[in-house]
A and B are shown apart, each in its own frame.
Chain A
Amino acid sequence: MSHFKEFKIKWGMVIDIDKCTGCGACMVGCQVENNIAPMTKSDPYNYVQALTKPRDDASNKLRTLTWMNVYELSNGKSFPEHETAYLPRPCMQCGNPACVPVCPVVATDKNEEGGIVSQIYPRCIGCRYCMAACPYHARYFNWWDPLWPEGMDKGLSPSTSVRPRGVVEKCNFCHSRYLEAKDKARLDGEDPMNLPEGAYTTACADICPTKAITFGDLNNPEHKVHELIQSPNAFRLLEKLGLHPQVYYMSEREWVRKQGDNYNAEAGGHH
Chain B
Amino acid sequence: MSVARRTFIQLGAGATVGILFTPTVWKALDDVSIWTQNWPWIPKLKYGAVEAKPTVSKMCESGCAVKVRTVAGEAFGTMGNVDNPLSGGGICPLCANGVQVKNSPNRIKAPMLDGQEISWEKAQEVVAEKLAAAGSKVAVISGDQTGTVNEVFSALLNDKGSDAFYVMPCDMQAADKAWTGLMGGAGQVGYDLEGADLVLLAGADALESWGPTVANLKSFAANESGKFIFAGPMQTKTASVTSKWVPVPAEGMAAFTLGLAYYVLQAGKTVGAADFDLFRSMVMSEYSPAKVEAATGVKADQMAALAKQLLTASNPVVVPAGPVAAHGAAFALNLLLGGAMKALPEFAKAIPSAMSRSEMLRADILDGVNTDLLFVYEANPAYALPEKIKAGFTVAFDMVQTETTATANLVLPSLHPYERFDDLASPYGLAAATYSLGVPVSKPSVNAANAATFILGLADLGFETFEEVLGAKVDAIGADMDALQGGEAFVVEGETPVAASLAANVLGKAAVPVKGTGAVGLVPYTLLSVGTANRATTPNAPCTISNNQLVGDHMVVMMGSATAKQLGVSVGSMVKLSGGKGECEALVQIFEGVMPGVVAAPLGLGHTVGDEFSKGKGDNVYKILTVSSEAAAGASTWAGSTVNVAKI
Residues of A within 8 A of B (CB): 18-25, 27-29, 31-33, 35-36, 38-42, 45, 57-61, 64-66, 70, 72, 74, 77-80, 82-86, 121-123, 145-158, 161-164, 166-167, 206-212
Contacts and interface: CB of A to CB of B under 8 A. Distances in A.
Contacts of A79: 247, 560, 562, 592-596
Given A18-B241, A32-B540, A145 B76 contact: no
Interface stretch (B5-13, B94-102, B330-338): B94-102
B329 interface: no
B91 to A, nearest CB: 6
Interface stretch (B430-438, B545-553, B570-578): B545-553
Nearest to B69: A157
A206 B80 contact: yes
B542 A122 contact: no
Contacts of A40: 612
A38 B539 contact: yes
Contacts of A35: 45
B539 A21 contact: no
Contacts of A18: 241
Q: Residue among A21, A151, A155, A156 with the most chain B CB within 10 A?
A: A155
Contact of A158 (B48, B99, B214, B527): B48
Contacts of B99: 32, 155
| Interface SS, B side | loop
A29 B37 CA distance: 25
A86 B240 contact: yes
Interface in B67-81: 69, 71, 74-80
B41 to A, nearest CB: 4
B198 interface: no
Contact of B611 (A29, A36, A149, A162): A149
A136 to B, nearest CB: 17
B452 interface: no
Contact of A82 (B92, B93, B593): B593
30 contacts: A23-B92, A23-B208, A24-B527, A25-B90, A25-B91, A25-B96, A28-B93, A29-B79, A32-B76, A32-B540, A38-B613, A39-B542, A40-B612, A59-B542, A59-B553, A60-B552, A61-B547, A66-B544, A79-B560, A79-B593, A84-B235, A151-B103, A152-B100, A152-B105, A154-B46, A158-B46, A206-B89, A207-B89, A210-B207, A210-B241
B43 interface: yes
A19 B241 contact: yes
B403 to A, nearest CB: 20
Nearest to A209: B90
A211 B89 CA distance: 9
B616 to A, nearest CB: 10
Contacts of A24: 93, 527-529, 541, 544-545
B89 A21 contact: no
Interface in B465-513: none
Interface string B224-252: 00000000000101111100010100000
Interface string B27-59: 000000110111101111111101000000000
Q: Residue among A27, A66, A77 with the most chain B CB within 10 A?
A: A27
A21 B612 contact: no
Contacts of B36: 164, 166
B221 A19 contact: yes
A40 B539 CA distance: 9
Contacts of A84: 235, 239-240, 593
B96 A150 contact: no
A209 B42 contact: no
Contact of B90 (A86, A123, A152, A207): A207
A204 to B, nearest CB: 11
Nearest to B43: A153
Contacts of A85: 240-241
B50 A31 contact: no
B105 A23 contact: no
B440 interface: no
A77 B235 CA distance: 13
B220 interface: yes
Identify the 9 closest CB pairs spanning chains A and B, nearest first.
A209-B90, A24-B544, A58-B542, A209-B217, A82-B592, A58-B543, A24-B529, A38-B539, A153-B43
A20 B45 contact: no
Contacts of A212: 221
Q: Residue among B104, B107, B241, B617 with the most chain A CB within 10 A?
A: B241
B445 interface: yes
Contact of A164 (B37, B46, B89, B593): B37
Contacts of A32: 76-78, 96-97, 99-100, 540
A236 B577 CA distance: 42
Given A32-B99, A58-B613, A209-B91, 16 more contacts: A19-B220, A28-B540, A32-B78, A32-B97, A38-B539, A39-B542, A77-B592, A78-B562, A154-B445, A155-B76, A155-B100, A155-B102, A158-B46, A158-B48, A206-B79, A207-B90
A158 B47 CA distance: 6
Nearest to A75: B592
Nearest to B611: A149
B413 to A, nearest CB: 14
Contacts of B420: none
B43 A25 contact: no
Contacts of B207: 21, 210
B213 interface: yes
Q: Residue among A35, A42, A149 with the most chain B CB within 10 A?
A: A149
A38 B612 CA distance: 10
Contacts of A20: 241
B437 to A, nearest CB: 21
Contacts of A80: 245, 247
A40 B213 CA distance: 29
A258 B529 CA distance: 29
B544 A161 contact: no
A24 B247 CA distance: 25
Contacts of B612: 40-42, 57, 149
B561 interface: yes
A220 B34 CA distance: 38
